[in-house]
Every structure is written in C-alpha cells, then in structure tokens.
Amino acid sequence: MSGFNKVVDTYEQAMAGLEDGMTVIAGGFGLCGIPEGLIAQIKTMGTRDLTVVSNNCGVDGFGLGLLLEDKQIRKMVSSYVGENALFEQQLLNGELEVELTPQGTLAEKMRAGGAGIPAFYTATGYGTPVGDGKEVREFNGRPYILEEAITGDFAIVKAWKADTYGNCIYRHTAQNFNPMAATAGKITVVEVEEIVAPGEIPPSEIHTPGIYVNRVIKGSFEKRIERKVTAN
C-alpha cells in the first residue's frame, strides 16, 4: 500500500507548495494542540500575505504568534486574539486584518468546508455586528444568519498519533479544532507525536480518517502551557 504512505521526513517536504497569499487553516485552541513544527517551518520559509484561520493567534514568541514577528500574516480569522502584544500593535497599525468569528461558527465553517456544505444557517451572531451584511432568514419563527464555509490551501494539524496511512487520533482536549481543520485543507499536513503502523489504532477509534490527510510528519513538541493552575 505504498500509495497510501503519507509519511514525509522533513519539514520542507511537509510544507512544500505553500506560497505567498495562501490560506492556512490551523488546528489548536490557545497553545493546546498546535502544530508547533509546521508553524516554525512557515516562519523559516518566510511565506507572506497569509490568511490564517485559527481560533487564536498564539502568544508573543510562541505558536502562531511567531508568524507575526516577520509580518507573515495579512489576515486572521479567529474567535479570540487577545493574548499577544505584537498582534495588537499590527492590528492598530493596519498591518494586520482580523475577521472575528464566533467560536462555534468558526468550527462549523471548517467542518462545512471539508464536508462540501458551502453555507449553513445559524442563530449565532444574529442581531450582532457578526450578522452585519449577512442574509437573515427565519426558520420556525426564529431568525438565523447565513454563514459560508471555509477551506484552506493548506491545513496544519497536530495529532497525537497517526498511522502511515494518515489515520489520526488526538489526545485529550488537544483535539479541539484539529479534526475540522484536517478536513478543510486542499493539502492537509499532520504533525504527530508518534507514527504507528496501520492497524494499531482500532478502526472505530480513529478521529480523523486518513482520506483527509496528505502528509504526516513526526514532530517534537514543547507543549507550552498558557495558564497553569493547580489545586491547592
């Protein structure tokens, strides 16, 4: 089954084809479950004018925040971006555009993009600035707004384990946006902690079937914690 072996050996291969102006969908919630090495590779490549779709934009000096340092991001599509000063500065300077999207709508837009649903209605955001300019329609007497799907030229995903066919599982809440991101990239690249043989992950436990995955690379992860809180 060599045609199904998605494993690549280098980050250059993993992100080959990424070009200026492309849209990149990234999994992760805050710093949890982010494809650290793939983000670093984009920084190394210096690709510019990117539209990045991700719930957050990392922090100063880590995660997607790294791509702000050389102003590689032109536009962020996120639900919450409050964690870094560089972001704030570039936003105020007009160097960076942000499209704030409710968290559930963002997740659903990615899922829809991967699932061939071009648009859907949701009550979320109706009557708020998020609904401005969007079609409103009533179903069963309640108003909803029309939201369109998101797809990316690339999706960058962090999984716990993948087999060589690209079947993935996620660990704990590091799952978050990763499964939807994985479905919505023209090219989906998954960075994992461990690569296993096909069959090691039981078929019904697979979170992301390999059909969505184009490339798999084994990474090593710092897994920085954003807010460490412990019980007394």
- Write the interaction track for another protein spanning residues 112-151; mark x where CB under 8 A is met and - where it is not: -xxxxx----xxxxxxxxx---------------------
Contact call for residue 13 and another protein (CB under 8 A): no
d(CA 45, CA 15): 9
Q: Site mask, another protein, residues 144-173, x = CB under 8 A? A: ----------------x--xxx-x---xxx
For 118-184, the DSSP string reads: -EEEESTTTTSGGGTTS-EEEETTEEEEEEE---EEEEEEEEEEEETT--EE--GGG-TTHHHHHHS
Q: By the 8 A CB rule, do 157 and 182 touch?
A: yes
Q: Does 94 bind another protein (CB under 8 A)?
A: no
Query: Please, what is the minimum distance in Å from the beta carbon of residue 149 to its own copies?
Result: 8
Task: Provide the token pair at 19.
Answer: 């070009």
Token reading at 60: 């100063």
> Which option in another protein, its own copies, none does residue 220 bind, with CB closer than 5 to 8 A by kind?
none
Greatest pairwise CA separation for the chain in angstroms? 55
178 binds, options its own copies, another protein, none, Cβ within 5 to 8 A by partner type: another protein
6 CB burial (10 A radius; 0-12, 13-18, 19+):
buried
Residues 171-230 that bind its own copies (CB under 8 A): 171-172, 175, 203-205, 207
The neighbour count for residue 55, using CB atoms within 10 Å, is 22
Part in contact with its own copies (CB under 8 A); list of ranges 17-25, 120-128, 183-191, 218-226: 120-128
Q: Determine if 142 is a binding residue for its own copies (CB under 8 A).
A: yes
How many Cβ atoms are within 10 Å of 105's Cβ, its own excluded? 19
Binds 214: which of another protein, its own copies, none (CB < 5-8 Å by kind):
none
Q: Which of 15, 50, 96, 107 binds another protein (CB under 8 A)?
A: 107
Q: Which residues bind its own copies (CB under 8 A)?
A: 108, 112, 115-123, 137, 139-140, 142, 144, 148, 169-172, 175, 203-205, 207
